[in-house]
């Protein structure tokens, strides 16, 4: 595995991992709220065919974590982060894969840079809007917006709330090691950053409307964090999309059913890259 320090928006340093053939089409994985690039561990086998790239978002993991909330509410900065990864690493025929909050990051990139550098996008349990643009129907009962203990400075309360949140992300319990890893990754993100991530306002739908390249929406039918109706609305907003709604699956399809996810993603990526040729 190769590691990189990429200079993102505002000069911030982003930690990026990269493995697989460097000349192959790139799968750029973008994790969700209060998570970490390690959440994509089960996607490592895709590196046999693709260049598999994952970053720790600003404020997460080993990337820089500014203490100014404005560093997380500025849509342009999120777009600059993704643009920097694509350009500094020289990624080709890039597919952006965004889990949950990662869909907001993809939309931010498209708003700033358009679709030219991409072969396609994949939204996995992706949010549809944040801030003032978010409508009540979009939030499931497990949405982090509804649990104030996820943002408290009381570490014990925050830990308990985080453990419950990660548990609620899946329909069936994850293997013990995977679950523990995701809880640990979540706890690396400070209360300030957790709050600031939802401080901005962005509606992805007008941006999705402009994306004409292939798109895939993968959503768990049992998602209690971002309700399945959000996935359906995203697929309706994307002109050239397919909706894959998975039964017996919650908010993290890639972790709950990694073999199925990898197979479906590889097939979509191959077709999208062929169209981009």
Domains within the chain, CATH numbers bracketed: 2-276 (3.40.50.1820)
Q: Which tens digits make up the pLDDT trace of 193-249? A: 999 999 889 999 999 999 999 999 999 999 999 999 999 999 999 999 999 999 999
For 239, the token pair is: 């002109």
Largest CA distance in the chain: 52
For 251, the token pair is: 């908010």
CB 59 within 8 A of CB 227: no
Query: What is the predicted pLDDT for the residue at 262?
Result: 98
Q: How far apart are CA 132 and CA 12, in angstroms?
A: 27
Answer yes or no: is pLDDT of 276 > 90: no
Q: Which tens digits make up the pLDDT trace of 112-137? A: 999 999 999 999 999 999 999 999 99
């Amino acid at each position: 595995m190769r590691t990189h320090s990429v200079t993102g928006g505002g000069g911030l340093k982003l930690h990026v991992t990269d493995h697989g053939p460097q000349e192959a089409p790139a799968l750029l994985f973008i994790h969700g709220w209060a998570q970490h690039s390690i959440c994509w561990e089960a996607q490592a086998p895709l590196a046999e065919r693709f260049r598999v790239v994952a970053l720790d978002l600003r404020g997460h993991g080993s990337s820089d974590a500014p203490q100014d909330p404005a560093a997380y509410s500025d849509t342009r900065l999120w777009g600059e982060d993704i643009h920097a990864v694509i350009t500094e690493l020289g990624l080709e025929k890039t597919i952006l894969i965004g889990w949950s909050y990662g869909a907001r990051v993809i939309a931010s990139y498209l708003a700033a840079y358009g679709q030219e550098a991409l072969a396609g996008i994949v939204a996995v349990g992706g949010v549809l809007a944040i801030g003032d643009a978010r409508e009540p129907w979009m939030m499931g009962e497990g949405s982090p917006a509804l649990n104030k203990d996820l943002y408290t400075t009381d570490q014990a309360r925050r830990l308990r709330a985080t453990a419950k949140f990660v548990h609620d992300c899946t329909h069936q319990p994850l293997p013990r090691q995977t679950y523990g890893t995701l809880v640990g990754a979540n706890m690396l993100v400070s209360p300030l950053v957790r709050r600031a991530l939802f401080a901005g306002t962005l509606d992805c739908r007008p941006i999705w409307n402009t994306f004409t390249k292939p798109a895939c929406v993968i959503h768990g039918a049992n998602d209690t964090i971002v309700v399945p109706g959000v996935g359906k609305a995203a697929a309706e907003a994307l002109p050239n999309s397919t909706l894959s709604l998975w039964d017996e699956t919650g908010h993290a399809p890639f972790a709950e059913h990694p073999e199925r996810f990898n197979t479906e993603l590889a097939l979509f990526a191959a077709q999208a890259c062929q169209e981009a040729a």
